[in-house]
Amino acid sequence: VFGFGRDAKSKHTLEWVDSNGNTHTQDLMITKRDYKIDKITGVAKKYVSPPKEVSARISREAQAIRKARAVNSDLQYFLDPVLKPAQGRISGVYGSQRYFNGEPRRPHFGLDIANKTGSPVYAPISGTVVFADPDLYYSGGTLIIDHGHGVTSTYIHLSKLDV
């Protein structure tokens, strides 16, 4: 799996060394795409433009999330079939441009599945919980699972953590 940013250049070269020490290259062409625009209104001002008194909290939480996502274990669960983590309507898609109360924000980096508060959410594949917090400023109940070799899944806006 290779991830490329929304604004990545079109041409890339993949280079790797096989188990015999031979070097290989492969040109990759990334096709530009159009992204959905999500205009979300009614978002509390404190989340669109947070007050200064919560900036230290936001920084601490962002650092903890970065640390959890930086785990690079030898687990190999990422090779298993992936299941849908919850039932519900897809309400947000990866890469969409977000506007909160008319103000442009960063692109969305997840898949949102809408359902009733308290509906179950399951791990899509096995792994190790590397982060769990019931109340982050932006994302509320947040859980990160390591599936191996830098592959993680993140669950946010959870009403309850039971892992």
Tell me the two tokens of residue 3.
């991830």
22 belongs to a structural domain = yes
Q: Tell me how many domains the chain contains.
A: 1
pLDDT at 1 over 70: no
Element holding 151 (H helix, E strand): strand 151-158
CA distance 113 to 157: 11
| Side-chain half-sphere exposure of 115, counting CA atoms within 13 A | 12
Residue 21: inside a domain, yes or no? yes
Give per-residue pLDDT as tens, 106-136.
888 889 999 999 999 999 999 999 999 999 9
- Whether the per-residue pLDDT at 64 is higher than 70: the answer is yes
Q: How many CB atoms lie within 10 A of CB 81?
A: 6
Whether 163 is covered by a domain: the verdict is: no
Q: Is residue 3 part of a domain?
A: no
Q: Is 6 part of a structural domain of the chain?
A: no
What percentage of the chain carries pLDDT values higher than 90?
68
The CATH number of the domain holding residue 39 is 2.70.70.10
Q: Structural domain of residue 71, as residue ranges? A: 11-158
What is the distance, to the nearest Å, from the Cα of residue 61 to the centroid of all Cα atoms in its chain?
Answer: 15
**What's the pLDDT score for residue 130?**
97
pTM: 0.79
Q: Does residue 31 fall inside a structural domain?
A: yes
Question: Is there a domain that residue 2 lies in?
Answer: no
Torsion sign (Cα): 91, 2, 151, 148: positive
